[in-house]
Amino acid sequence: MAVGFLYFRVPVVAMSLLGTAQNTGYFGAAFRLVETLTLMTIVLTAVVPILTRAAERDTARHLYGLRRMLEVSIFLGACVTIATVTGATLAIHVLAGPKFAPAVGPLRALAPLLLLRFINTTWGFALLSVGRYRGLLIANLLALVTSAALCSAFVPILGVYGAVVGALAAEVTLLVAYAVLIRRALPQARFPITTAAFTVSAGVAASCLVLARLPAAVVPVLGCAIFAVALYLAKGIPPEVLAPLGRGLGWARSALGAGAR
């Protein structure tokens, strides 16, 4: 956990040491927002006890639970990523002010880190459930080394985007390392490629809205709506997400009907 805390914040430290004060401010504004959004992965912790117990007693249930967790994490991670890409202008304007407009680009560039973070959190919990502690430590150390090396090399050259490269590369390194560990620890586990393909395709389509000349407040709403509709038509939304939404709509209709009477 300590190493995971460190590797994620290396880009901010690298910018403060190797970048200009102005660029450090722009990157800090973008990174702080992304860092806050990564806290949403805490919703996945609810399944950890179930995974751990299933790993001890029921392999089939453990694999099924891991797959469903992955599908939900991909969906949620993509939702947050799209909202960040399409709402970057509005978010920076509201939270940091018009003077931080140059932070919009780095924020959009950092947005894919959110999807990677959701997947890595799920795989990290899966590895915890089967006791692969040494592997988790090594994987996070690799991410730390990758982030430090690339930030040191690219921040002096690319400035803010050099730190973005380091942050994304560290998350991809962790993703690959976790994939190798999952393959060894749970050889029967399968990554939901179809769900990921549909989700990424819908996300790219929704993110194209940033090219349209629309009000900043409208773009994220339309982007998320396009993403949700596209996935629904492709039957790519996990049932665990649709079920509570359906119940919520039912309660809303009941309340409106009662109010009308």
Q: Where are the domains of the chain?
A: 2-260
pTM for the whole thing?
0.85
Express each pLDDT in 98-111 by its tens digit.
899 999 999 999 99
The pair of three-digit structure tokens given for residue 172, joined into one six-digit string: 């991809």
Q: Does an H or E element contain 130, and which?
A: none
CB atoms within 10 A of CB 9: 13
Tokens, residue 206: 């929704």
| Residue 245 in tokens | 């939404």
Yes or no: say if 112 and 81 are a contact pair by the CB < 8 Å rule: yes
The string of pLDDT tens digits covering residues 33-92 is 999 999 888 888 888 888 888 888 888 888 888 888 888 888 889 889 999 999 999 999
